[in-house]
């Protein structure tokens, strides 16, 4: 599942690959994935004009031209692959964009078996106005005093801390893996109510989240499961997981057995001794 660090990696590759190139052909193989794709707007935003820049907000990928922006979300099984062939190479290829360069064409394939991804577009300069971005919380790596920011939300909330961390209206980009791993590093039990935690706990959680995200970005994305780079290479498994998916294995710190529970329908792993 591409999480924030993986998306950051894709954005960098896309910028290196497509910036300055012009999409000369756009072929959709579906008119919807999670929701209908605004195909005319997408074409209008991208076709026949140079890509000026590629950005990330939350886990969205934004490709800008002079007239607008193409917007992608990889969901949990999505990939953007730069291939040498125009022909779909995989069963669930939903979109192929032909980018014309001086040397050779680049074919950007959007592949997403589980169709949890999104494709949209915004015309005009301010893509921030697109509905996708209206409700989003802060960027964890850009927020000054993330700990204080989180505490301000958490101090008046009885939700479990893990649910707060995964709420994109509060802070974006912290999916299940990073929530579990950050809470482990911070020594905080995932079921603790947000209001029961001290400012110091929040500083520890914020530091752990930033550290894990930064490490993963530096490593080119963690690629825990389905993630592949734009060249189709599997990831580097650079981040060793302390708790995620490690049911009944022993804790790297204390040797205690890693616990597995469900929180609002999502799996949570933790060490009952290291996390209080």
Partner DNA sequence: CGTATCTCCTGCAAGC
Partner DNA sequence: TGCTTGCAGGAGATAC
Q: Does 157 bind DNA (CB under 7 A)?
A: yes
Is 59 an annotated catalytic residue? Answer: yes
3-state secondary structure of 157: coil
Structure tokens at 185: 């590093």
Angle at 204 between CA 276 and CA 12, to 5 degrees: 125
Q: Does 144 bind DNA (CB under 7 A)?
A: no
Q: Which is nearer to DNA, 193 or 203 (CB)?
A: 193
Instruction: Specify whether the CB–CB gap between 181 and 242 falls below 8 A.
Output: yes
Q: Which is nearer to DNA, 175 or 220 (CB)?
A: 175
Which long-range contacts link 147-154 to residues 24+ away (Cβ below 8 Å)? 147/199, 147/202, 147/203, 147/204, 147/205, 147/206, 147/207, 148/199, 148/202, 148/203, 149/206, 150/202, 150/205, 150/206, 151/197, 151/199, 151/202, 153/194, 154/194, 154/195, 154/197, 154/202
Q: Which of 84, 144, 156, 276 binds DNA (CB under 7 A)?
A: 156
265: left (phi over 0), alpha (psi -120 to 50) or beta: left
Q: Does 135 bind DNA (CB under 7 A)?
A: yes
Instruction: Specify whether the CB–CB gap between 172 and 58 falls below 8 A.
Output: yes
Q: Does 183 bind DNA (CB under 7 A)?
A: no
Q: Which is nearer to DNA, 78 or 99 (CB)?
A: 78
Q: Catalytic: which of 57, 59, 162, 246? A: 59
Q: Does 163 bind DNA (CB under 7 A)?
A: yes
Among 64-72, 205-213, 232-240, 259-267, the segment contacting DNA (CB under 7 A): 259-267
Q: Which is nearer to DNA, 87 or 156 (CB)?
A: 156
Cα 140–chain centre separation: 12
Q: Does 43 bind DNA (CB under 7 A)?
A: no
Q: Does 129 bind DNA (CB under 7 A)?
A: no
The site for DNA (CB under 7 A) is made up of 1, 3, 34, 58-60, 73, 75-77, 91-92, 113-116, 132, 135, 156-160, 163, 166, 168, 172, 175-177, 264-267
Catalytic residues: 2-3, 59, 266
């Amino acid at each position: 599942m591409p999480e924030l660090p993986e998306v950051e990696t894709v954005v960098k590759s896309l910028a290196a690959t497509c910036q300055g190139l012009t999409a000369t052909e756009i072929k959709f193989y579906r008119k919807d994935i999670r929701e209908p794709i605004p195909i005319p707007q997408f074409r209008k935003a991208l076709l026949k004009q140079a890509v000026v820049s590629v950005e990330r907000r939350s886990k969205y990928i934004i490709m800008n031209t002079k007239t607008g922006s193409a917007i992608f979300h990889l969901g949990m099984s999505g990939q953007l692959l730069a291939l040498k062939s125009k022909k779909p190479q995989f069963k669930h290829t939903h979109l192929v964009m032909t980018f014309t360069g001086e040397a050779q064409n680049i074919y950007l394939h959007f592949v997403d078996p589980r169709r949890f991804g999104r494709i949209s577009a915004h015309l005009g300069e301010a893509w921030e106005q697109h509905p996708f971005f209206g409700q989003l919380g802060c960027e964890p790596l850009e927020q000054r005093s993330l700990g204080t920011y989180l505490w301000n939300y958490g101090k008046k909330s009885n939700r479990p801390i893990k649910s707060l961390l995964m709420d994109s209206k509060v802070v974006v980009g912290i999916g299940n893996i990073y929530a579990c791993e950050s809470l482990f590093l911070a020594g905080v039990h995932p079921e603790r109510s947000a209001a029961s935690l001290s400012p110091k706990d929040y500083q520890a959680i914020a530091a752990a989240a930033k550290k894990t995200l930064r490490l993963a970005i530096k490593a080119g994305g963690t690629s825990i499961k389905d993630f592949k780079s734009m060249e189709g290479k599997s990831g580097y498994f650079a981040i060793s997981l302390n708790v995620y998916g490690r049911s009944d294995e022993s804790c790297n710190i204390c040797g205690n057995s890693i616990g597995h529970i469900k929180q609002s329908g999502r799996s949570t792993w933790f060490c009952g001794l290291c996390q209080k």
